[in-house]
Amino acid sequence: MRGFLVTLALLAAVPACAQHQHGGQQPATPAQPARPAQPASGQAQGHAHGAEHAHGGGHSHAMPQGWTVRLDRANADASQVMFMEMDGGLHAELGPAGIFYNPANSPSGAFRLAASFTQNKLSAHPEGYGLMIGGRNLTADNQDYAYFLVRQDGKFTIKHRAGTEVHTLTDWTEHAAVARPDAQGRATNALAIETGSFGTRFLVNGQVVGTFGQELNTAGVAGLRLNHNIDVMVRGFGVTPQ
């Protein structure tokens, strides 16, 4: 299926559950540090433009400039996606799951992609959130990207998506580095992906939890992968040349 694509206009932004369907998931010349942003797309394609995105109760929120979202499902309800700048970061409150990205963030060679994620409340089921790298053909049927997620049960996963196929590189694995929610249901995890002559390594709160060689493509669009029914705050998203 083609993905539902929402592309932001120059002066305003418009607004993936892959975790279940994609194993709790779903995947650059150094670019400038990422600017907060958002949109949505999935597996059927459509276009919309606007400065605001309606979300519940008749409220609307201005979206960050330059970002696009691709939702996992062609029939996903984009009105259930809120992705906005807030308190110096990006706040996502989702129904459907998807990937969020700004094409300007397309690093290659040696780089470090990082962001800190705070899950604001427990989800009904463990849902992943994290980083996407190596994005190519993101508006087409042959979309291609890798992604690195953690979730509230203390586990992480690394996967690769090619078209409608999802390849598990590291299945959901428990690791002490992944922070679990506190009594209020909140948890903060700093995720990073580093590439170089050593290959690619994945870090949670400063600890390496996975490493791959040069076989993993990392050149392409970098962004976020957020699964459905989750409320998360993202801070410090950016790409740094190594």
5 in Cβ contact with 84 (< 8 Å): no
List 92's β-bridge partners, or say none: 83, 232
Q: Which amino acid is at 42?
A: G
The domain containing residue 156 runs over which residues?
A: 4-241
CA angle 199, 36, 109 (to 5 degrees): 20
Please choose, from the candidates 238, 203, 212, the residue with its C-alpha nearest in 3D space to the C-alpha of residue 111: 238
Q: SS3 helix, strand, coil % of the chain, rounded to 5?
A: 5, 50, 50
Question: Does the CA dihedral 29-30-33-38 come out positive or negative?
Answer: positive
CB atoms within 10 A of CB 110: 15
Average pLDDT per block of 10 residues along the chain, 242 residues long:
39 37 40 38 32 35 80 89 92 93 96 98 93 97 97 97 96 98 96 96 98 94 95 97 92
Map residue 97 onto helix, strand or coil: coil
- Residue 115 sits in a domain whose CATH number is 2.60.120.560
Domain count, the chain: 1
222 in Cβ contact with 104 (< 8 Å): no
Residue 13 pLDDT: 36
